[in-house]
Every structure is written in C-alpha cells, then in structure tokens.
Homo-oligomer: A and B are copies of this chain.
Amino acid sequence: MRWDPLDEKIVTLLVADSRRSFAELGTEVGLSASAVKRRVDRLRADGVITAFTVRLDPAALGWTVEGYVELYCRPSTPPAAIRRACAGLAEVVDASTVSGDADALVRILAADMRHFEQVLEQIGAEGFVERTKSVLVLSPLIRRPPPTMH
C-alpha cells in the first residue's frame, strides 16, 4: 500500500471537509484535479478511507447523557453474543472486548439519566451478563479521528 506525504495532506483535508472539490484540494497540495481524484479513489480501494459521511452532534439530536459500561460476563461468553446484544440497542455507539477485569467496554448515548438507567437495565437483563459497572461522562475533552502520520 502506497502512502506518501501528498496522500497524508489529502486525507487530512478530507477529514476536515470532504466536500472540497478535487481542484481545490489539488491547488493546496500541488496536483491537478484528476491526480487528486485518482489518489482518493486509490485510498478508498486500499481501505484507508472507509466512507464519506457526515459527523453528527449527539447533543443537537437530544442525546445529553453519555457513559461507559463495563460488562462482566459469565465464563466463556462468546464475543459474538455480546455483539448481538449491543447491536440490538440503538443507544450503544461503541463496544469492544477488553483485557483486564471486565470482559467488554460499551459506550452509551442516552436522552437523559432515566433513559440511561433503562439501557443499563436492558444490558443487565442479558443472560450472559453477571454484573455491570458504569461511569458517566462529565465533560468530553477531545474527540478526533485517527491521526494520519506515523
């Protein structure tokens, strides 16, 4: 997979604003519009850029409460079971199996505290969940995409 400073610049610019025209990107990195398009097509084909999308503001959508839930599961619970359970809850925006005491760490968005509690109860009601431990996000400090430089 190729990756040179021009790719890095282009990706950085696209992360900031994916609607800039190829011509505009070209003048910023010193290439023609078609050369930029070819690189973007290659970056998509290589899987570096997985999608063109929009970033949403959870608060503007009414999600005011955010929290992390540690899942302690019954012995030999398969990750697929955890994934299935989380996929069924729209409030789960992030879930991973983790090392350490807990088996999985789940990030949740809820409309309010009562809603958060309800989601917590739904997770706890899953057969494979022995107990949960949750922390609430007080204030988000940083939220950014993966860095592009090595």
By a beta-carbon cutoff of 8 Å, the part of chain A in contact with chain B is 1, 11, 14-19, 46-58, 60-63, 66, 68, 79, 82-83, 86-87, 90-100, 102, 104-105, 109, 111, 135-150
Contact = CB atoms under 8 A, between A and B. Distances in A.
Q: Which of A53, A100, A109 has the most CB of B within 10 A?
A: A53
A8 B66 CA distance: 21
Number of copies: 2
A111 to B, nearest CB: 7
A31 to B, nearest CB: 18
Contacts of A82: 141
A99 B11 contact: no
A60 to B, nearest CB: 5
A138 B98 contact: yes
A53 B14 contact: yes
Contact of A94 (B49, B57, B100, B142): B142
Given A18-B18, A147-B90, A50 B57 contact: yes
Nearest to A1: B60
List the 10 closest A-B pairs by CB distance, nearest first. A100-B135, A83-B141, A95-B142, A97-B138, A90-B147, A95-B141, A58-B146, A99-B136, A51-B55, A96-B137
